Structure 1
Amino acid sequence: MSNSHAHPPLKAVTLTHVRYQRGDQLGHFLAWISLVPVFISLGGFVSHFIFRRELQGMFFALGLLISQFINEIIKTSVQQARPETCALLETCDSHGWPSSHSQYTFFFAVYFTLLTYYKIGILARKQLWVVGLLVWPLAIFTMYSRVYLGYHTVAQVIAGAALGAVLGGGWFWVVNYLLRGYFPTIEESAFGRFFYVKDTSHIPNVLKFEYENARAARKHVSYKRSS
């Protein structure tokens, strides 16, 4: 017996489903660039928590989550449609202003730049060229990719980039001028001790510090074994 009720249309989860024109090499490249936020979230912050447990990195990730939450609130309130190409991309059921990809990458770029400039990370100020040659080009290419691939208009990606930059700078100020004083308390809390959470932002060169302490610990172990 046939079902008299029409089935609702199915919708796919499109977190990493980025479309481009077959044979378009630039589109193929930009489709991968468009996945930068996914790579940063999964490859960067998840691995950072597993291996580093730095409070600065954890608050960095929290800021990105807050930024994306704000983006969803604005999109739901404004409800600006995506460009006409949304029909081919199957994204017409979602809103386009502001671009969440642009907001994410520009938040990341601004916060990371400030983090590097003020020597609150493993990079020193003299290594800002890494930020200029990698972080900012990725942010700009991500913004461009959303327009080129037809997911957003120019106005939507500019709005996302501007909002991300403002939120990135604002969150950096909140973390490093209002919340950083509480880092030692978090380190000594039950949560901090259980998850080995730490703050090394007061150490000028973390790589050198860890290297020298690792060598000292190895020499100490070798001395105990030989004695």
Structure 2
Amino acid sequence: MAHIPLKAVTLTHVRYQKGDYFGYFLAWVSLVPVFISLCGFTCHLLFRRELQGLFFAIGLVISQFINELIKSTVKQARPITCELLESCDSHGWPSSHSQFMFFFSVYYTLLTQTKFGILSRNQMGMALFVVWPMAVLTLISRVYLGYHSVVQVFAGATLGALLGGGWFYIVNYKLRSYFPMIEESPIGSVLYFKDTSHIPHVLKFEYENARGARKHSSYKRSE
């Protein structure tokens, strides 16, 4: 088999065959977990301070820890195609990318479907037409680019889905009763942590309160 030159997506180590535009597209898709972690959750926690989002992020960290623990225990090698990518210095089962995306997708979907979530039902379209397609494409990308076998990505997806559903249950049926206490705690007060999942229409609530505050004399800037 002739050696095909490989290229890496700029600022990353995700490689694809030179001239393969579909591979180039999937290389970017495989970076979605990175974008979600660094951009999505970092911005959300920085600007929103939602406890639901905080525990969502904690769940993803726990999921990643479990993934690494399983990999180091099972020690299943990546497929032979990974050797050409020069990135086979870690184990492959289960796929962490697949696990991350299916954990995220399941938890996000449940947020759109239950009264506990910070998301409304009309955001189900985001889950159906963006989140889940990206999760499936991530699975395809890891196999197509040669980083994982089909078995490894399905193992990651299954484990991620189970952990996502299980963590959602723990957070919203066991831990959510402690959210008010966290809000009122010294740390919660200093960091402005809050829970708005009891508000039916958060965007409308914040919009109306922002307009009301602008009209209130105590919020007006002194002339």
Query: 2:112, 2:124 within 8 Å by CA — same for their partners in 1?
Result: yes
Counterparts of 1:30 and 1:139, CA distance in 2: 12
Q: Say if 2:42 is the partner of 1:46.
A: yes
Query: 1:122, 1:207 within 8 Å by CA — same for their partners in 2?
Result: no
Query: 2:52, 2:195 within 8 Å by CA — same for their partners in 1?
Result: yes
Counterpart position of 2:82: 86
Secondary structure of 1:20 counterpart: strand
Q: Deviations over 1:11-57 (max 9, x none)?
A: xxxx9310000110100000000000000000001001110000000
Which consecutive unaligned segments of at least 5 residues does structure 1 have? Answer: 1-14
What letter matches 2:41 in structure 1? F
Deviation of 1:124 after TM superposition, in Å, equals: 1.8
Counterpart position of 2:61: 65
What letter matches 2:168 in structure 1? F
C-alpha RMSD over aligned residues: 1.7
Query: 2:214, 2:220 within 8 Å by CA — same for their partners in 1?
Result: no
What letter matches 1:60 in structure 2? F
Secondary structure of 1:63 counterpart: helix
Query: 2:110, 2:117 within 8 Å by CA — same for their partners in 1?
Result: no
The TM-score, its normalising length taken from structure 2, stands at: 0.91
Match of 1:116 among 91, 112, 117: 112
Q: Say if 2:204 is the partner of 1:208.
A: yes
Q: Deviations over 1:75-132 (max 9, x none)?
A: 0000000010121111222100000000000000000000111144453213312210
Query: 2:105, 2:131 within 8 Å by CA — same for their partners in 1?
Result: yes
Q: Say if 2:180 is the partner of 1:197.
A: no
Secondary structure of 1:203 counterpart: coil
Alignment of 1:1-227 (within 5 A): 16-221=12-217
Q: From the superposition, tell whether residues 223 and 56 of structure 1 become closer, same or farther in structure 2 (CA, over 3 Å).
A: closer
Query: 2:95, 2:152 within 8 Å by CA — same for their partners in 1?
Result: yes
What letter matches 2:196 in structure 1? T
Counterparts of 2:195 and 2:88, CA distance in 1: 44
Structure number with larger C-alpha Rg: 1
Deviation of 1:221 after TM superposition, in Å, equals: 3.0
Counterparts of 2:120 and 2:188, CA distance in 1: 26
Q: Deviations over 1:129-188 (max 9, x none)?
A: 221000000000001100000000000000000000000000000000000000000000
Query: 2:16, 2:145 within 8 Å by CA — same for their partners in 1?
Result: yes
Query: 2:98, 2:138 within 8 Å by CA — same for their partners in 1?
Result: yes
Secondary structure of 1:85 counterpart: helix
Counterparts of 1:37 and 1:91, CA distance in 2: 18
Q: What percentage of residue pairs aligned between the two structures are identical?
A: 72
Which consecutive unaligned segments of at least 5 residues does structure 2 have? Answer: 1-10
What letter matches 1:99 in structure 2? S
The TM-score, its normalising length taken from structure 1, stands at: 0.90
Deviation of 1:222 after TM superposition, in Å, equals: 8.6
